[in-house]
Amino acid sequence: MNKRRVVITGLGIVAPNGTNISVFEKNIINGMSGIQYLKELGSLKFSCQIAGIPIYEKDYLNNYFNTVQLKGLNASGMEYGVIAGIDAWKDAGLSINTSDTPQWDAGVIFGTGILGVDKFREAIYKVDAGQVRRLGSTSVIQTMASGISAFLGGKLGCGNIVTTNSSACSTGTEAILMAYDRIANNNAEIILAGSTSDSGPYIWGGFDAMRILPYKYNDNPTEASRPMSATASGFVPGSGAGALVVESLENAKKRGATIYAEIMGGHVNSGGQRKGGSMTAPNSEAVQHCIRKALINAEINPQEIDAINGHLTATTMDSTEIYNWSKALGLKGKDFPYINSLKSLVGHCLAASGSIESVATILQLKEKFIFGNNNCEDLHPEIASLIDRDKIPTKTLDFAPSVIAKASFGFGDVNACIIFKKYTNDNI
């Protein structure tokens, strides 16, 4: 059966360096970092006292939640996801359904790693103090993983699939591919896809304890996230949400929607924690297999890829990732595509990383640029031996990519790769 063509018609973002698309785009073009020192982490004696967190005034939430919903709201991931999701929906030119009948062809697939950690903490203290009746009526919604998709589904009146996926750092990219598959196979017309991640010490503490966060840059936060650098010393924790309206081409054309890009295909797999793969490290064979299968599914040749938005976390695995891309594509040196990592600007936003980075990827296609990699002047020698220095820009390039590959690799040895293409009417 021939699959239907699937496009992106709306974008929403809540990132450390921008909480709307226009600001976010401007800041990634200009290399503006959203990583900052957090006094709270210092007082809690974290080794790494910096992070990327979205900044907005609390009254901004009045645009997305009513008075009842705001009462007792204490879940940053819920806030980020709702803002990004509703913004994407409106950006797509879609109205919020106010009728009694659900939109049977519209759904939500919105992932998260964990939701409402601060609300959990609040609940534990109140329950232990015998104050269970003071938890409030929204505690369950704020702390169940599917609370974010359920909230958005109800807000928008969606009657198709409404669910939450969770695959560590692959979550956001996987959610987009799940939406793509459902629409391509004629099971929906519109899916709001994305992911969100809570912020704060209770999310980041475990990583600090693992000693995989940088601790030498507390006085120079914007220099800390160094993907592909010889002096990279760990990932900077981040948070936020990204959202994309994924839609069948037929439906988008029918309603005259703006089309940002086309999804050509992709692949999701696992390395089974074999051949070097583990809970925290990828099986390189599986990564290469995922990339190759994504290209096959998308009917794209390696030589057609103009750029890669990598996972590239600023850890010792960056060199391995570049090696895996080179092996999977069969390209190296000057033939390798441009490659960048948004994490140099926002840190590693965990479950939200794939969706936030996909928004950045699509903006590059639509607006004709390749954003630069901050803090990568001292390229890692192993990477330099594989690909040309010019393929890893440190400043934004005026370049019009046609095809960009986006991949995410998560804890548990799980992988997701998606192929985005600039939309033209004659795309096959």
Length of the chain: 428
SS3 label, residue 36 = strand
Could you write out the DSSP letters of every residue in 74-112? --HHHHHHHHHHHHHHHHTTPPPP-SSS-BTTEEEEEEE
- Which among 254, 286, 309 is the end of a domain? 254
User: pLDDT digits over 213-254, tens only?
Assistant: 999 999 999 999 999 999 999 999 999 999 999 999 999 999
pLDDT-based confidence at 75, cuts 50/70/90? confident
* Residue 1: count of CB within 10 angstroms of its CB: 6
On whether both 241 and 277 belong to a single domain, the answer is no
Q: How far is CA 226 from the centre of its chain?
A: 18
What is the CA angle 341-424-409, rounded to 5? 25
Q: How many domains does the chain fold into? A: 2
Residue-range definition of the domain harbouring residue 74: 6-254
> Which of residues 254, 285, 310 is at a domain's end?
254
Strands 403-410 and 414-421, by their bridges, are: antiparallel
Residue 66's pLDDT band, with cuts at 50, 70 and 90, is: very high
Residues 222, 279 within the same domain: no
Average pLDDT over residues 274-287: 96
Look-up: residue for tokens 């049977």?
104
> In this predicted structure, what is the pLDDT of residue 123?
84
- Position 135 scores a pLDDT of 79
Q: Are residues 218 and 294 in the same domain?
A: no
Q: Whole-angstrom Cα distance, residue 401 to residue 258?
A: 19
Q: What is the pLDDT of residues 245-278, one digit of tens each?
A: 999 999 999 999 999 999 999 999 999 999 999 9
Is 97:157 a contact under the CB 8 Å cutoff?
yes
- Secondary element (H or E) of residue 265: strand 261-270
The token pair at 48 is 């790494």
Same domain, 219 and 349: no
CATH of the domain at 402: 3.40.47.10
In this structure, is residue 1 part of a structural domain? no
Give long-range contacts, CB 8 A cutoff, 24+ apart: 53-61. Answer: 53/16, 53/199, 53/238, 53/239, 53/240, 54/14, 54/15, 54/16, 54/19, 54/80, 54/199, 54/239, 54/240, 55/16, 55/19, 56/14, 56/19, 56/83, 60/19
**Whole-number percent of the chain with pLDDT over 70:** 99
Residues 6+ apart with CB under 8 A from 224: 35, 50, 214, 216, 217, 236, 375
Mean pLDDT, rounded, of the chain:
96
Model confidence at 124, pLDDT cuts 50, 70, 90, reads confident
Q: If you average pLDDT over residues 287-304, what whole number do you get?
A: 98
> How many percent of the chain have pLDDT more than 90?
90
The Cα–Cα gap between 320 and 334 comes to 19
Residue 88 lies in a domain: yes
Residue type for position 255:
R
pLDDT in the model for residue 428: 46
Q: pLDDT class for 137, splitting at 50, 70, 90?
A: confident
**Are 148 and 177 part of one and the same domain?**
yes
Q: Which residue has the tokens 């020192």?
A: 37
The residue among 170, 186, 177 whose CA lies nearest residue 263 is: 177
Instruction: Single out the residue in 229, 254, 279 at which a domain terminates.
Output: 254
